[in-house]
């Protein structure tokens, strides 16, 4: 197959997306596919050009990848570096290349990639892509909306509130919550802008940090406990994986720096807890209609209460990512996982 692996973009998770894209591209090439790794924002070339035969020179046409920086990317610098300085999000020749492909493997994370906007555009262009559709992407990306759907469907989730920058409660006592609490952007990923607030003095700093990234934020109860994740492929749960950061919580650094967390799969849990957590993961997938694959994040407190935090519709596929580890626990290596995602995605277009 001729495949475009779409990565990059203008998300705070731009670097992570490139590493996901590189891993997926390499895996699919080992499966004998013709694969172009494409930066959705930078595109290919500087202006429209003849793309005849481009999949015969796919490695030459692919974007180069350096790795994940310890700091979030400077998106303003990325914007300024694009030669055509167009206001269009899609870079030169991106739509044309995606239309030429048999399938676009979505390796994007965060804004635009996971919020359904690109999926909606591709639906209008008749472009085939991996993963779930635009509506379920948008619902999962917006933590306020997804938490409402969790509660409506009896999926346990931490209690909390949302607030906008224009209607911010700077006085913590007016939130109706208790300390400690968690402050985070409503639609962000990779734990960017997330703070655990233990004192009222820390609250304002946490607000400033979260509002730096978005206009709407979530404040919710802090749940002290163990961290887990459950991948779901075609509405079937994979084994539970436990994440135990060596320091702090599972933030941006601990997610992508090798050796920063101990990950155990299958997680060492009583069977009834494992089954319950997997059941909630499958229920989230059904409630949000998460086609193809997704990954749900959970906390387990000291009283063995389970809390679902969020759903990730395009989970990471880096060397330290969780979903590939879960798939491997049931005998599915990385190449087979990528191939399986394409096969399931193709069903949408039959």
CATH number of residue 199's parent domain: 3.30.1490.20
Q: Is 315 in the same domain as 217? A: no
Q: What is the CATH number of the domain that holds 308?
A: 3.30.470.20
* Strand pairing report for 2-7 and 34-39: parallel
Domain housing 196 = 159-221
Q: Is residue 302 part of a domain?
A: yes
Sheet-wide strand order for 160-164: 160-164, 216-221, 181-185, 195-197
Q: Residue 347: inside a domain, yes or no?
A: no
Could you tell me if 169 and 112 lie in one domain?
Answer: no
| Same-domain check for residues 113 and 171 | no
Asked if residue 25 and residue 91 are part of one domain, the reply reads yes
> Is position 346 within any domain?
no
83 in a domain, yes or no?
yes
> What pLDDT, on the 0 to 100 scale, is given for residue 140?
95
Whose tokens are 């935090």? That residue is 309
- Alpha-carbon span 232 to 222, nearest angstrom: 26
- Are residues 83 and 291 in contact, defined by beta-carbon separation less than 8 angstroms? no
The whole-number pLDDT of residue 261 equals 82
- 164 and 91 within one domain: no
Kindly state whether residues 286 and 215 are assigned to the same domain. Answer: no
Q: What is the pLDDT along the chain (350 residues), one digit of tens a residue?
A: 999 999 999 988 899 899 999 999 999 999 999 999 999 999 998 877 889 999 999 988 998 887 766 677 888 899 999 989 999 999 999 999 999 999 999 999 988 889 999 999 999 999 999 999 999 999 999 999 999 999 999 999 999 999 888 888 888 888 888 899 999 988 865 567 888 999 888 898 899 888 888 889 999 999 999 999 999 999 999 999 999 987 655 444 445 455 678 999 999 999 999 999 999 999 999 999 999 999 999 999 999 999 999 999 999 998 779 999 999 999 999 999 999 999 999 999 98
On whether residue 192 sits in a domain, the answer given is: yes
Same domain, 207 and 262: no
Cβ contact 291:136 at 8 Å: yes
Predicted pLDDT of residue 171: 83
Q: How many domains are there within the chain?
A: 3
Rounded Cα–Cα distance for residues 277 and 237 (Å): 9
Task: Let me know whether 172 and 275 are in one domain.
Answer: no
Q: Are residues 31 and 110 in the same domain?
A: yes
Q: What is the pLDDT of residue 254?
A: 44
Same domain, 278 and 234: yes
Q: Is 148 among the domain residues?
A: no
206 within a domain of the structure (yes/no)? yes
- pLDDT at 250 (0 to 100): 47
């Amino acid at each position: 197959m001729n495949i475009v692996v779409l990565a990059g973009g203008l998300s705070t998770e731009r670097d992570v997306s490139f590493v996901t894209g590189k891993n997926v591209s390499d895996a699919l090439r080992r499966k004998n596919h013709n694969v172009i790794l494409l930066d959705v924002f930078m595109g290919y070339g500087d202006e429209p050009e003849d793309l005849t035969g481009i999949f015969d020179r796919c490695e030459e046409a692919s974007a180069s990848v350096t790795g994940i920086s310890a700091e979030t990317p400077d998106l303003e610098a990325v914007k300024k570096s694009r030669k055509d300085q167009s206001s269009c999000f899609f870079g030169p020749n991106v739509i044309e290349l995606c239309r030429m492909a048999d399938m676009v493997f979505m390796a994007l994370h965060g804004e635009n990639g996971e919020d359904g906007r690109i999926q909606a555009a591709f639906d209008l262009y008749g472009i085939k892509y991996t993963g779930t559709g635009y509506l379920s992407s948008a619902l999962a990306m917006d933590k306020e909306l997804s938490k409402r759907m969790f509660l409506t469907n009896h999926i346990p989730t931490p209690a909390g509130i949302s607030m906008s920058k224009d209607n911010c409660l700077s006085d913590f006592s007016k939130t109706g919550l208790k300390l400690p609490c968690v402050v985070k952007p409503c639609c962000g990923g990779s734990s960017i802008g997330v703070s655990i607030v233990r004192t009222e003095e820390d609250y304002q700093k946490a607000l400033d940090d979260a509002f730096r990234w978005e206009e709407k934020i979530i404040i919710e109860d802090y749940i002290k406990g163990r961290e887990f994740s459950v991948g779901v492929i075609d509405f079937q749960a994979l084994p539970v994986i436990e994440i135990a950061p060596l320091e702090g919580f599972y933030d941006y650094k601990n997610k992508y720096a090798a050796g920063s967390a101990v990950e155990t799969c299958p997680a060492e849990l009583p069977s009834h807890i494992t089954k319950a957590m997997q059941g909630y993961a499958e229920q989230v997938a059904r409630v949000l209609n998460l086609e193809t694959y997704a990954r749900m994040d959970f906390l387990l407190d000291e009283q063995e209460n389970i809390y679902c935090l969020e759903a990730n519709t395009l989970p990471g596929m880096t060397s330290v990512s969780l979903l590939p580890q879960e798939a491997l626990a049931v005998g599915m290596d990385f190449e087979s996982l990528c191939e399986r995602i394409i096969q399931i995605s193709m069903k949408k277009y039959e």
